[in-house]
Structure 1
Amino acid sequence: MILRTGQRVVFIGDSITDCGRRDTAAPYGSGYVSLVRALVDARHPELEVEWVNRGVSGDTVRDLAARWDADAIAERPDWLAVLIGINDIWRRYGDRRDEAVDIDEYERTLRDLLRRAVTGTGCRLILGDPFLIEADRTDPQRADTDRYAAVVAALAAEFDAVHVPNQAAFDRVLAVSPATRWADDRVHPYLPGHAVLADAYLSALGVC
């Protein structure tokens, strides 16, 4: 277990992180963030960790950059957990292609944001892979997602961050079950899909 007593853990990202945290499921959302919080608190109540959710539905890394100072740096995290990239890719396959973020801009922007956070707050980083709930690795969107996830893995190594292999977590369940069991659009998980994510985060954090 790498979390310590009284630490502040801030999650930031898109709708997968948001999950209603600004309205019906305030303040933690109804997804993986809430599950991680609940399970860490239940297993290690002595730690009294402070949890903050700053996910915003629809965000790409560009949107994250626009609110980074207020929603990441100003929160003064001990740990900053970032999950971004799904919309950056997905927009290329829908009717908002001009909002897609190519992989070079994604890497450049995310690296800059992470450096600013570490320099400005001294925080440690938790970097989660973008994912697609799709077993076919030749599917174009899945292939793109794997490329972006490789960027995140490389940045995790560069920043000595905790790396959460979300795609690998879904690949394990997709090996024995259909994608429709976990989401209806391959992107927004049902609650069991959020449990898959939460389990990946707990494993990466060494929670037992």
Structure 2
Amino acid sequence: MMFEADQRIVFIGDSITDCGRRDVRAPYGDGYVSLVRAFVTARFPATPLTWVNRGVGGDTVRDLAARWDRDAIGERPDWLVVMIGINDVWRAFMGRPAEAVPLPEYEATLRTLLRRAVEATGCRLLLADPYLIEPDRTDPQRAQSDRYAAVVAGLATELGAPHVATQAAFDEALAVSPASMWADDRIHPGLPGHAVIADAFLRVITG
């Protein structure tokens, strides 16, 4: 396993990470973060870890930038786990184009934030793709989402960070099942969809 005893694991992102962690599902939410924590704890009970969820629903990379000092650097992570980009794409397809984040801005902002976190804390990074639960890769939103996921994969290589291919995990499931099995809106998964994401994380974390 990549984590070591007594390390602090901080997750940051949008609603997929948040999952009610700020209210009735505090402090971990009821999505993939909670599942990853539970399974890592169950498999490695002799490796105590501190888990922190700093997801906020609706966030884009611009919103992360506004709270980065408090919610990423200020948490002093040993590992910083980042999944962001779904809203950066989606806003352009839901009638709020001014709130969408163009690809060059997304890449530049995310690179700057990640480098700042490493320089300030010495943390390791774990980067996960944004995704769209849509099997048709020619669908305009899916095609755009894939471009943002490619940025994350590129940054993972550039920064020497493990990479969680969440889109590929959903594509594997979509090859044998309908998108409606995993989410009603192609974005917000139910528990089985969060299990797909968590399983992708566990493959990377535990080998």
TM-score (norm 1): 0.99
Deviation at 1:206, TM superposition (A): 2.0
User: Residues 95-124 of structure 1, C-alpha deviation per residue, up to 9 Å, x if partnerless?
Assistant: 211100000000000000000000000000
Alpha-carbon distance in structure 1 between the residues aligned to 2:74 and 2:18? 18
User: Residues 49-74 of structure 1, C-alpha deviation per residue, up to 9 Å, x if partnerless?
Assistant: 11000000000000000000000001
Do residues 191 (structure 1) and 175 (structure 2) align? no
Do residues 91 (structure 1) and 86 (structure 2) align? no
Other structure's SS at 1:63 match = helix
Q: How does 1:119-138 map to 2 (within 5 A)?
A: 119-138=119-138
Query: Gapped runs of 5+ residues in structure 1?
Result: none
The runs of at least 4 consecutive aligned structure 1 residues that moved more than 6 Å come to none
Q: How many residues align?
A: 207
Q: How does 1:93-108 map to 2 (within 5 A)?
A: 93-108=93-108
Alpha-carbon distance in structure 2 between the residues aligned to 1:43 and 1:126? 20
Alpha-carbon distance in structure 2 between the residues aligned to 1:206 and 1:99? 37
Query: Gapped runs of 5+ residues in structure 2?
Result: none
Q: Give the root-mean-square deviation of aligned CA atoms.
A: 0.5
Alpha-carbon distance in structure 2 between the residues aligned to 1:26 and 1:16? 14
Match of 2:51 in 1: 51
Alpha-carbon distance in structure 2 between the residues aligned to 1:45 and 1:74? 27
Alpha-carbon distance in structure 1 between the residues aligned to 2:149 and 2:202? 19
Alpha-carbon distance in structure 1 between the residues aligned to 2:205 and 2:155? 17
Letter in 2 for 1:148: Y
Match of 1:29 in 2: 29
Question: % of aligned pairs identical?
Answer: 70
